[in-house]
Structure 1
Amino acid sequence: MTPKEKRELNKHLEAAAAILFKNTPREKLQDFQSLVISLRDQLTAHVHPTFGHFFYAAAPRQVQEESDKFKPV
């Protein structure tokens, strides 16, 4: 990753973090454990699916070949 790409990535991650923070109930920000659980839940619900769809669409042949290895015979 180039330095320019890192800066761009960080800019987008900070924007995403601000949105997730804004949509986190205040009671989930009271202690570290609640914060981590809330963040994990939001990442699982909103971020991971988008990343998964993007990577799957970007490399369909390789992903399909890999998933075929794990299908029951």
Structure 2
Amino acid sequence: MKKSFNKEELTIMSFYNCDDRIKLINQLESVVENVDEVEIESEINEIVIKLKGMTDDEFKEIDFKNIIEIEEDI
């Protein structure tokens, strides 16, 4: 089953510029420990759950380029 990410999730993941799924999971899990806002913590936890349910090949198919192009247009 292919996991999909919304714009906010892709934006959060793109901050870490990580091409390895496990490293990204580890970075997000370490960040969530220091987050004070429940909404952001929840969003990060949802990302981690989706990433853990993916294969490395599925992770490589995530298109971060589109989110970067959207941000540049703004």
TM-score (norm 1): 0.33
Asked which structure has the greater RCO (Cα within 8 Å, sep 6+), the reply is 2
**Which structure has greater helix proportion?**
1
Structure of higher CA gyration radius: 1
